[in-house]
Chain A
């Protein structure tokens, strides 16, 4: 199968617009809210999301954080590839905050489980919501569902979803067979 484009740059802009407006609708002035991108690609998505919010509502400055979940994963010693860690950058207390966790692709739910543990090890947020750009539905291994979703796709285990970013921002989201990748 040829790689299938799930979202191109134009489509993403529309989707991002909707997601940003949904967040503004719920969180208003973002006074007690923090948007936390999961390292690595979720962090890139959170950058684009915050830029979009500021484009729609100039003057709004949502608090942003980056979260690395490497040490909270449940597959230590069970992966083929060595782990790679990135920095956690949260220069605010999560205690009492309304947290929006942001990731690009939701698949088995294990990363989000690790992210919630990593987050709660830093304090007790008031609420935690989840926003994902692509939801690979019917693939969950844990009972985790997104609060805000960009696009739902049907996929099977032998496929991979990649969201690609270049230095200017978003490029595309594609679905392809892992065998092609190898």
Chain B
């Protein structure tokens, strides 16, 4: 088994395909551990990790915190709402103050694209990007790839569709990079206004027809319509979006195969996906949440292993 080449997890774009493979392999071991009666191992008992969140998050923050606790790391949580950031402190000062308390690793979510890389260049600590604006969300892409592998096996040659708001979605960007590195074929589908122009240069197919996309793919990742990131109106009405892009059982019943259905959450039930489909057997939404803890344990474990404790 090898060490990661990457020294931080900032995004999938600059991550070697081999590193992705190593993370997913370790995630397998951690999934076994979190399904034991005693779900905790003492491996990281002398490591301290700060979760620094400048943007709201429930699932990701809980998932990171659980991953850290299952590995016996010490955890401190920090959210911008209750911090000195409000008093005008800079990002580097904030984090250096946390590191001065002997913290080894920082998990950060920030609204600015590139914030994680900026931090990694300026502070002495391991950095994990838990989402930076509309840029990347690497652990989500890794857990989606892990969940897909569980259902489809090796992803090389598999057809994966990502549906919804691609422009404002860091999940979509990280997923595309990750799937392409694993050899999968990727198609994005959504309204013209929500698909960025550079998709084709990334080797991704583009469609505006959900039925055609569903007929093509082996698995579909339904993204949430992110109303908080849309200052302008990108589609005529919610009703229009639902008519064209909602995943529902009528659409699925027209197919002669069982698709694997993913959703990064939180779900807008009745908008991009119906309740019936979200709760169906084909949906792996809750597997994704479980796998998220295992994948994050793998990332934290592998980065911690690079730190020399001698």
Contact = CB atoms under 8 A, between A and B. Distances in A.
A84 B26 CA distance: 9
Contacts of B37: 122-123
B44 interface: yes
Contacts of B2: 82
A71 B1 contact: no
A71 B43 contact: yes
By CB atoms of chain B within 10 A, which of A70, A71, A87 has the most?
A71
B307 interface: yes
Contacts of B304: 76-77
A83 interface: yes
A55 interface: no
B19 to A, nearest CB: 13
A85 B36 contact: no
A126 interface: no
Contact of A85 (B1, B307, B309): B1
B33 interface: yes
B41 A78 contact: no
Contact of A122 (B26, B36, B71, B305): B36
Contacts of B3: 82
B179 to A, nearest CB: 26
Interface residues on B, range: 20 to 34
Main secondary structure, interface of B, reads loop
B308 A121 contact: no
Given A82-B2, A82-B305, A76 B26 contact: no
Interface in B67-100: 71
Interface of A: 68, 70-73, 76-78, 82-85, 87-88, 117, 121-123
A121 B40 contact: yes
A29 B41 CA distance: 34
Contacts of A70: 29, 43
Interface in B259-310: 304-305, 307-310
Main secondary structure, interface of A, reads loop
Given A77-B307, A85-B29, 11 more contacts: A68-B29, A70-B29, A71-B42, A71-B43, A72-B41, A72-B42, A76-B304, A78-B309, A82-B2, A82-B3, A123-B37
22 contacts: A70-B29, A71-B42, A71-B71, A76-B43, A76-B44, A76-B304, A76-B305, A77-B46, A77-B305, A77-B308, A77-B310, A82-B1, A83-B305, A84-B1, A85-B1, A85-B26, A87-B29, A88-B32, A121-B36, A121-B41, A122-B36, A122-B38
A121 B29 CA distance: 16
B309 A71 contact: no
Contacts of B307: 77
Contacts of B26: 85
A121 B305 contact: no
Contacts of B38: 121-122
A70 B37 CA distance: 18
A40 B44 CA distance: 22
Interface string B6-43: 00000000000000000000100100110011101111
